Amino acid sequence: MADLDRATYPPVSVVVATRDRPGLLERAVGAILDQDYPGEVECVVVYDHTDIRPLDLPVPPGRVLRHVNNTHSRGLPGGRNTGAAEARHDLIAFCDDDDHWLPGKLRRQVELLAARPEAAAASCAIRLEGPGIAKDRRLDRTEVTLADFVEDRVMEVHSSTLLLRRSTWDAVGPVDEELPGGYGEDYEWLLRIAAHGPVAVVPEVLVAVDWHGGSFFFGRWAVIVEATRYLIDKHPELAGSRTGLARLHGQIAFALASGRRRREAVRELGRVLRLNPREKRVLVTVPVVLGLLSGERVLRLAQRTGRGV
């Protein structure tokens, strides 16, 4: 029976990059170790250039908990790349330190990936949880393709949902550590993953995403502008969708306006309108350009509904 389980449910390595979130980290790692999964599970916690503080958690049979330092560049991309390099198994999953998995997450995704050999990765539906919000986000499709990601970010394919084979990791390359500030690293990486094959989707909600209404990038408007322009330059396929390109230029316009670079924002809005007059970021950027609302205020209002800008 053990050999059968190993063939059907092969060992999985799970990477959790972290920095100074001890309570949330324990919740995330505890949910990984407690997965209803017959195969082996290795959890690699990567500390981002800070002292390792080993977690005092029970480690059930068939589970391994390891603590390592980030040996790559400081930040989330470097932490994920360190964890993937340390991972000992051919299936690799990722979980942010402030999110947590439901018990059947690995089982359902491993089964789906086995049934979809052409898929580059597996994802699942998510639940947004935070002050004043508890909202399920499900996709009405069984896979997400490169064309879908070019058109839209598809936020349901969250970094904490991803499971992929080592062969996919090797083919698409690591998370981009050159991306300015690490902003949008998950979307940039997903574009490369989807170019390798579709992302198969488990329809059930299997990951709870901490939706606290804040962001590491609140107020870092110049970084957002630089990173989004970097993304557009790196991925020429984005130019194949006027809707998708308008969305990204809309993000730039919003960040420019929020950073009080209003003349630049107006010029960027003109580009957005030429690409797609219906782009929603035009409506949220105009009040910021006019000084009626701050960018931070707009983001908080949007996130209360489970959306970003």
277 compared with 215, residue with greater pLDDT: 277
CA distances, 48 to each of 68, 87, 169 (Å): 9, 16, 21
d(CA 80, CA 189): 12
Whether 34 has a pLDDT exceeding 50, the answer reads yes
Amino acid at 55: L
Confidence bin at 133 (pLDDT 50/70/90): confident
pLDDT tens readout for residues 60-74? 999 999 999 999 999
What's this model's pTM, rounded to 2 decimal places? Answer: 0.93
- What's the chain's average pLDDT? 93
Give the mean model confidence (pLDDT) for residues 151-166: 97
State the angle between helix axes of 221-234 and 242-258 in degrees (0 to 180), rounded to the nearest 10.
160
Whether 164 has a pLDDT exceeding 70, the answer reads yes
Q: pLDDT value at position 1?
A: 35
CA 61 to chain centre: 30
Q: pLDDT value at position 302?
A: 76
pLDDT tens readout for residues 191-248? 999 999 999 999 999 999 998 754 545 568 999 999 999 999 999 999 999 999 999 9
Q: How is residue 151 written in tokens? A: 């058109």
Residue 202 backbone dihedrals phi, psi, to 5 degrees: -80, 125
> Dihedral, CA atoms, 140, 146, 150, 152, nearest 10 degrees?
20
Whether 27 has a pLDDT exceeding 70, the answer reads yes
User: What is the DSSP track for 220-259?
Assistant: -HHHHHHHHHHHHHH-GGGGG-HHHHHHHHHHHHHHHHHT
Angle among Cα 194, 199, 203 to the nearest 5 degrees reads 155
Give the mean model confidence (pLDDT) for residues 100-127: 98
**Residue among 158, 185, 172 nearest 75 (CA):** 185
Q: pLDDT value at position 307?
A: 63
Q: pLDDT value at position 3?
A: 52
Q: pLDDT value at position 306?
A: 63
Q: pLDDT value at position 301?
A: 78
304 compared with 188, residue with greater pLDDT: 188
d(CA 211, CA 218): 14
Whether 283 has a pLDDT exceeding 60, the answer reads yes
